[in-house]
């Protein structure tokens, strides 16, 4: 290399009326001096992004040049402005960006990697090296590998039919992961939202590509064998987004989710890929109603109507009226069930834009949210902000706090553990108890309360609540968000809730002084269990076990009156491996409420409970029955005590009897030996670890 000049990949390009045509083709490494470039192009060599303070290179000393300094060999004004004072370069392994000058402005032209081999050291008078930005707007870290150079012509050829123009190939490529489907009203509108996000990306100067992933409907499959695929779908969503983004060389992406597994599935993919990404919640459904009545209906109203019908409290006509009117259109289930819980948790985590969690599915606000999310993903690429910069331990603590205050779903425990696992953040069950001891329940929202999410939307969503928590010292202020601002900065101008609202209680008048999510331990759950106890059901329950080896068996005996007051309804072999799939027990719990037994019966399971479940419920019991956990040893009539204050769940039989039963126990045969459920059962971890499928793999 000639002293004073940078070796780089020559960019084949030509100008037409000041506009760049076909700017991305890259050929072999060449030593290029100003005599070759200056006569042909107005260019500036800028943004010399150093990969580290000590690099490998075999080149001779060199500098960075602007158009005006080609002839002199002096350090350019541009590079001096970008470089710390006193910096000297021996040589670099870096990304070199070419900007095309067009009048008084410049625009990204192309970038090139400079491979080096021997030692390099950057010297600067500053005490810290400048922050490395591997995602500068012109660096195109992943898309360049797929699209740049003559050898990538076949790749480019495949993209012309889907809407690419020649100038698009030099832009950042941002995926739009859509969960659109007509399987469920939760997702039926998301194709439209994906188009809005696409427009936001394109308007910000990048190129968007929409692709789909799956969704399933818990509400439709609940209580059937099909519900075993629900939690599995979280892993399929994560795997499919990771697969598409990774395969297609997308630099970043926006994910839009509706039904509740969409949310954690998308976040797990974001953590695995660690490419700039923004999550958009599809929005909550509006309430249903029956003509002439004032009560608001939702999907849980229908489940509970089934129990009321079985108990002769309503007739066929009223059941049909509720069924036909409860779901009026698009959007996720309307209470503080799992979808709204996880959307709120993700906003508190910093991975969605402010107020994304609290917008109606069909609204101008949601369209704007999608457009802004597209632009935000591009801005994250420019600033070099990645998901793992945001999803820290403190950010997860913020998410847990918001879930508790809202009275959110027990599923948040499972999903936050799984997302944290993907982030390699150490989050454990005991963190929920630790935080829960100092965080109250403030939101009077269904299923345990009165109001729906759409009513919370109408008074400002969760932003005023988060501002209140921040001012009280219950949230970490310095956590980064996808906006590029800290949590505190995003909340700085948030106004309080309107006077007289009754949905969110003040901190000094909580619904419950500590968390409704209680992690229990004991001889029935040595690995932990998750209870949802609002206090309305009491804090302690002792009863005789009524044992069922499946959800269907339990539901039948609840509806026919076999289950009576004072019983602990044990539903086992429903865990991650035993189900497999860890079904939600919404049908049994809704039947219990519909039968009027909500305060008199306690269902417990190694499966899950829906966000719509309420009453004295305990799920996620580990170890699960299928692997020989103590739940497998329970017999009808055994006394069981659940104590939320002591945080214990115990089988009150002698240790010798428990040991005798364990010795006689035999493992059941697997229910599935082929297909996705079998693969899931063979890889899934315990619920206490988030029921993840890529940990401790045999590689």
- The H-or-E segment that residue 519 falls in is strand 517-522
Which of the listed ranges 118-127, 285-294, 415-424 does the model predict with the highest average pLDDT?
Answer: 415-424
Q: Name the average pLDDT for the chain.
A: 84
pLDDT tens per residue, range 625-675: 999 999 999 999 999 999 999 999 999 999 999 999 999 999 999 999 999
Does residue 68 register a pLDDT over 70? no
What are the backbone dihedrals phi and psi of residue 567, each rounded to the nearest 5 degrees, phi first? -105, 150
| Cα(397)–Cα(99) distance, integer angstroms | 42
> Is the per-residue pLDDT at 19 higher than 50?
no
- By DSSP bridging, strand 517-522 and strand 277-281 are unpaired
The pLDDT value recorded for residue 138 is 55
Cα(611)–Cα(303) distance, integer angstroms: 13
Question: What percentage of the chain exceeds 70 in pLDDT?
Answer: 80
User: Could you check whether the bond before residue 447 is cis, i.e. omega within 30 degrees of 0?
Assistant: yes
Higher pLDDT pick, 64 / 151: 151
How many Å apart are CA 438 and CA 585, to the nearest integer? 29
pLDDT category at 358 given cuts 50, 70, 90 is very high
Categorize the per-residue pLDDT at 64 as very low, low, confident or very high, splitting at 50, 70 and 90. Answer: very low
pLDDT tens track for 221-273 = 999 999 999 999 999 999 999 999 999 999 999 999 999 999 999 999 999 99
pLDDT at 540 over 70: yes
pLDDT at 308 over 90: no
496: pLDDT strictly greater than 80: yes
- Contact between 267 and 346 under an 8 Å Cβ cutoff? The reply is yes
> How many angstroms separate the CA atoms of 477 and 353, rounded?
16
User: In which band, very low, low, confident or very high, does the pLDDT at 295 lie, cut at 50, 70 and 90?
Assistant: confident
pLDDT at 288 over 50: yes
So what's the pLDDT on residue 135?
54
Cα distance between residue 33 and residue 430, in whole Å: 62
> What phi, psi does 360 have (nearest 5°)?
-70, 145
Q: Which domains does the chain have, with CATH numbers?
A: 7-142 (no CATH), 172-286+329-491 (3.40.50.2300), 287-328 (no CATH), 517-689 (3.50.30.80)
Q: What is the predicted pLDDT for the residue at 69?
A: 33
Residue 536 pLDDT:
77
Q: What's the mean pLDDT in 91-97?
A: 37
CA distance 188 to 181: 5
Among residues 537, 534, 332, which one has the least CA distance to residue 443?
A: 534
Q: What is the DSSP string of 314-345?
A: S-HHHHHHHHHHS--SSSB-SSSSHHHHHHHH
- What is the band of 133 on the pLDDT scale with cuts at 50, 70, 90? low
Q: What is the 3-state secondary structure (H, E, C) of 48-108?
A: EEECCCEEECCCCCCCCCCHHHCCCCCCCHHHHHHCCCCCECCCCCEEEEEEEEECCEEEE
Cα Rg of the chain (Å, integer) = 29
What is the mean pLDDT of the segment spanning 115-122? 34
Provide the annotated active-site residues: 610
Instruction: Indicate whether this model's pTM tops 0.85.
Output: no
pLDDT of residue 106: 43
Lowest mean pLDDT: which of 172-176, 210-214, 233-237, 607-611? 607-611
Q: What is the mean pLDDT of residues 192-204?
A: 98
Q: What residues have CB less than 8 Å from 573, skipping those under 6 apart?
A: 549, 550, 579, 606, 624, 625, 626, 632, 668
- 468 vs 54, more confident: 468
Instruction: Tell me the average pLDDT across 408-420.
Output: 97
Reported as a pLDDT band with limits 50, 70 and 90, residue 139 is: low
The predicted pLDDT at position 176 comes to: 98
Q: How many whole angstroms separate alpha carbon 462 and alpha carbon 363?
A: 17
Q: Which residue has the higher pLDDT, 110 or 300?
A: 300
* Cα 315 from chain centroid (whole Å): 41
In this model, does residue 489 exceed pLDDT 90?
yes
What pLDDT was estimated at residue 522?
A: 98
Q: Summarize the confidence of residues 26-35 as an average pLDDT.
A: 34
Range scoring the smallest mean pLDDT among 9-13, 183-187, 537-541, 682-686 = 9-13
Q: HEC profile for 210-242?
A: EEECCCCCHHHHCCCHHHHHHHHHHHHHHHHHH
- Mean pLDDT of the region 349-376: 98
pLDDT band at 306; cut points 50, 70, 90: confident
Buried residues in 168-203 as b, exposed as e (16+ CB within 10 A): bbbbbbbbbbbbbbebbbbbbbbbebbbbbbbbbbe
């Amino acid at each position: 290399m000639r002293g004073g000049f940078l070796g780089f990949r020559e960019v084949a390009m030509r100008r037409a009326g000041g506009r760049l045509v076909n700017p991305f083709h890259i050929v072999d490494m060449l030593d290029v001096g100003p005599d070759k470039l200056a006569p042909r192009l107005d260019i500036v060599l800028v943004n010399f992004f150093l990969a580290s303070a000590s690099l490998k290179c075999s080149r001779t000393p060199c500098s960075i040049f602007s158009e005006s300094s080609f002839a002199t060999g002096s350090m350019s004004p541009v590079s001096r402005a970008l470089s710390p004072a006193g910096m000297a370069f021996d040589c670099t392994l870096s990304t070199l960006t070419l900007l095309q000058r067009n009048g008084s402005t410049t625009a990204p032209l192309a970038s090139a990697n400079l491979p080096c081999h021997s030692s390099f050291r950057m010297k600067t008078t500053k005490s810290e090296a400048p922050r490395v930005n591997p995602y500068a707007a012109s660096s195109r870290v992943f898309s360049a590998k797929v699209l740049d150079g003559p050898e990538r012509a076949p790749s480019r050829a495949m993209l012309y039919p889907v809407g690419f123009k020649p100038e698009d190939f030099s832009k950042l490529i941002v995926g739009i992961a859509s969960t659109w489907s007509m399987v469920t009203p939760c997702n039926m509108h998301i194709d439209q939202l994906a188009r809005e996000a696409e427009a936001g990306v394109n308007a910000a100067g990048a190129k968007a590509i929409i692709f789909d992933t799956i969704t399933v409907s818990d509400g439709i499959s609940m209580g059937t064998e099909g519900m075993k695929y629900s939690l599995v779908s979280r892993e399929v969503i994560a795997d499919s987004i990771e697969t598409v983004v990774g395969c297609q060389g997308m630099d970043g992406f926006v994910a839009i989710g509706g039904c509740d597994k969409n949310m954690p599935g998308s976040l797990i993919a974001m953590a695995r890929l660690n490419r700039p990404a923004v999550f958009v919640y599809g929005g909550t459904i509006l309430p249903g109603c029956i003509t002439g009545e004032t009560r608001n209906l939702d999907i849980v109203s229908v489940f509970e109507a089934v129990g009321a019908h079985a108990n002769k409290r309503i007739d066929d006509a009223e059941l049909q009226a509720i069924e036909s009117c409860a779901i009026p259109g698009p959007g996720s289930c309307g209470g503080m069930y799992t979808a709204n819980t996880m959307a709120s948790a993700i906003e508190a985590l910093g991975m969605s834009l402010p107020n994304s969690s609290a917008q109606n599915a069909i609204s101008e606000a949601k369209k704007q949210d999608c457009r802004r999310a597209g632009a935000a993903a591009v801005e994250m690429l420019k600033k070099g902000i990645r998901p793992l910069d945001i999803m820290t331990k403190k950010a997860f603590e913020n998410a847990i706090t918001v879930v508790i205050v809202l009275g959110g779903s027990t599923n948040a425990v499972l999903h936050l553990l799984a997302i944290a696992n993907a982030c390699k953040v150490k989050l454990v069950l005991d963190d929920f108890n630790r935080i829960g001891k100092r965080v109250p329940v403030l939101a009077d929202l269904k299923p345990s309360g009165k109001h729906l999410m759409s009513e919370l939307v109408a008074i400002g969503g969760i932003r005023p609540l988060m501002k209140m928590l921040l001012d009280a010292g219950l949230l970490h202020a310095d956590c980064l968000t996808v906006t590029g601002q800290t949590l505190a900065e995003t909340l700085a101008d948030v106004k309080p809730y309107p006077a007289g609202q009754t949905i969110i209680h003040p901190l000094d008048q909580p619904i419950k002084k500590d968390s409704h999510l209680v992690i229990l331990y004991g001889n029935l759950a040595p690995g932990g269990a998750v209870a949802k106890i609002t206090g309305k059901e009491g804090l302690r329950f002792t009863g005789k076990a009524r044992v069922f080896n499946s959800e269907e068996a339990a539901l039948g005996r609840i509806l026919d009156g076999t289950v009576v007051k004072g019983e602990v309804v044990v539903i086992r072999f429903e865990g991650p491996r035993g189900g497999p799939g860890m079904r939600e027990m919404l049908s049994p719990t809704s039947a219990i409420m519909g039968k009027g037994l909500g305060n008199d019966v306690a269902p417990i399971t190694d499966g899950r409970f829906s966000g719509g479940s309420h009453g004295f419920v305990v799920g996620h019991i580990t170890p699960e029955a299928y692997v020989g956990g103590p739940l497998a040893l329970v017999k009808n009539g055994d006394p069981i005590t659940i104590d939320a204050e002591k945080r214990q769940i115990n089988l009150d039989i002698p240790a010798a009897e428990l040991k005798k039963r364990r010795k006689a126990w035999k493992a059941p045969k697997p229910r599935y030996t082929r297909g996705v459920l079998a693969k899931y059962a063979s890889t899934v971890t315990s619920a206490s670890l988030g029921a993840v499928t890529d940990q401790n793999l045999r590689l």
